[in-house]
Amino acid sequence: MHVQYKRIMDISRSIYPGMVKWPGDQGFEVNRECTLEKGNVCNLSSVRMSVHTGTHVDAPFHFIAGGTTVAELDLSRFIGVARVFEINVQLCITGSDIEQLPIKENDIVLFKTSNSLIPYDGEFHKDYVYMDVSAAKYLIDKRIKAVGVDYLSIDGFYTEDYAVHKLLLSKGVGIIEGLMLKDVAEGSYFLSCLPLKLEGADGSPVRAVLLEI
């Protein structure tokens, strides 16, 4: 079977030492265990990082005791028809901001905001655009598969209870964070955004790509 598409768009953040990370998280480190320069038979590296580095997905276990781990996630949540919507708000996406959007059941909804203009090689930006509970409830009612945002958290930085994470994850809605949507136009695409099969983990970096169809 041949899938027809116009182009592949990589919407993943590059992972490298010094990139922006959530405050307190383990930064990305790479160690060259073997190198050809030193006479080894090959180049071989090991890495150390948070599972929430760069573009990543969250598993329910991230916020829910006994919740599904990333290795147990339903992969169909992270592959399929995706709709990119550009949302022009100052700080918070609410239910009223999205209730007029043509969101359909089983969509993967990706929100492009001013976050996409924030550089990932600078300081962590605390005042990023985030979602509130009313938006999360609306998306749950629409029975979407997953929602993606263009910074490192779907909740606001100053939240104390991470209510949006908990609500979405408890209802089986996939969460994708850290997307790079700066050069992506609004519209419908096919998304592939699969996590690594990390046993017992609460999240995983992903290589997220859109197929323009």
Give the residue numbers marked as catalytic. Answer: 62
What residue has token string 């990932």?
Answer: 120
Q: Give the start-end residues of each E strand in 35-186.
A: 44-48, 56-58, 79-86, 92-93, 108-112, 130-131, 146-148, 174-177
DSSP state of 164: H
Query: Hey, what amino acid is at 152?
Result: L
Let me know: does 181 contact 10? Beta carbons within 8 Å: no
Q: Of 1, 17, 2, 28, whose CA–CA distance to 205 is shortest?
A: 28
Q: Of 168, 162, 167, whose CA–CA distance to 145 is shortest?
A: 168
Q: Of 63, 84, 65, whose CA–CA distance to 153 is shortest?
A: 63
